[in-house]
Amino acid sequence: MSFKKKAVSIPGRVPTNVSSVPGRGPPPSTGAPKAKPETTILSHEGVKASVQTSHPTTSTGSEHLDSLLGHMGIPLGSLLLVEESGSTDFASILLRSFASQGVLHQRLEGNGNTKVVVVGQDDMWGKELPGVYVDKKQKKKQRVEEEESKVTVGNLSNTNKNMKIAWRYSRTAEIEQKAAEVASTDVSANTKPNYNAVFDFTSRLMPAASTNEVAYINPSPSQKSFLSSIITSLEPILKQAQESNTVVRVLFPSFLHPVIFGPNCSSPNELMPFFHLLHNLCRKYPYTVAMMMSLPLELYPRHTAITRWIEHQSDGVLQLDPFPEHLIPDTPETSSGEKPSQGLVHIFKLPVTSEKGVMVSRRGEHAFRVGRKTFEIREFGIPIDESEASKEDVSNPVDY
């Protein structure tokens, strides 16, 4: 007895024509999954993953400050508060470096994927941004390249010089190939060489930052509340930046200064709702915005309720405590070769790290010094007067 194979299609368990439930729309289509904003923003030239938490991070413009924050930069979606004691203005150097770094990212990319917003200042503030540091060798190299780029009779004779030499003596192609290999290895070692730059605080950014590169939010007489107008102006900027994969740097230089913000802005009725909304903006756009704010403690000491509230709403809190002028030594260098510090750096909160419950409060453990090309932050220790120590050794010889 034989059996003949038949191709009989078995109907599926789910019926093909299923009537939809009244009042409900069609089931959602399962298309290709969209890329997460976190992975998309990491393709930005000025954004890296944090070395501690893998959170998207951008440079503050100061390598030492990036290292002090623990993430090699400031994490996106966070607000960094820089307090300063006394009548000095060292904090403005950090804020201008932060803004200048954003302008450089925008110019290097050329597609407007970085935006800088300054609150309470005009375009004169942007014209004082520091320029990129260039050493003597780089300046000489740039001059040579500019001269070689000019078409002259001497340059034409140099370009044809290799053609006059026999092929077995000319190794130009081989040398150029090796140079290209070395350059490629350098780029692979540092995947984002333009992540941070070294600035020269004695020079200015050239050309100066335009209004297309830096936006300014200033008070107007028609506004009832300047703080509420700041939130109203920032909301559409951040919304548009999130859609276009743009990093927005928001700066508040000399926050709550009466000349800039007016006396009404420091009232709790204005200040508390403002920081609630500002904190919500950072959480609403965690891969878009990074904020930095400076606060003069001469006007608002740390023991006041206003300053405590601002610190509570900030993700990171640092304090610059400059030394009195009479305590800074006149000698340019110490006996160990280090230049004297100009003040202390106190750490009260760090972005993301403090939010996770890690205790990072450190007072008097770091010092800062402003040089020509760096805002140096290093570990601080009481220096030893080696001259007195040597005198004691000479006056008290050891008998054997």
> Is the pLDDT score of 236 beyond 70?
yes
For the chain, domain boundaries: 37-133+190-379
> Is the pLDDT score of 128 beyond 90?
yes
Distance CA(394)–CA(100), nearest Å, equals: 53
Q: What is the C-alpha end-to-end distance of the chain, expressed in Å?
A: 119
Please, which residues have CB within 8 angstroms of residue 390's CB and are 6 or more apart in sequence? none
Going by the DSSP 8-state scheme, the letter that residue 342 receives in this structure is: -
Which tokens belong to 284? 């609403």
pLDDT of residue 121: 93
| pLDDT confidence bin for 1, thresholds 50/70/90 | low
- 75-93: average pLDDT: 94
Q: pLDDT per residue over 151-205, tens digit each?
A: 555 555 555 555 555 444 455 555 555 555 544 444 434 578 889 999 999 899 9
Distance CA(52)–CA(47), nearest Å, equals: 15
Distance CA(174)–CA(181), nearest Å, equals: 11
In DSSP terms, which residues pair with 97 in a beta bridge? Answer: none
Distance CA(72)–CA(172), nearest Å, equals: 41
Residues in the chain: 400
pLDDT of residue 362: 86
DSSP line for 285-339: STTTEEEEEEEETTTS-TTSHHHHHHHHH-SEEEEEEEPPGGGS-SSSS-TTSPP
Assigned CATH class of 37-133+190-379: alpha beta
Which tokens belong to 7? 């191709």
Residue type for position 319: Q
Going by the DSSP 8-state scheme, the letter that residue 349 receives in this structure is: E
In this prediction the pTM is 0.76
pLDDT of residue 216: 96
Q: Which of 26-35, 190-199, 204-213, 246-255 has the lowest mean pLDDT?
A: 26-35
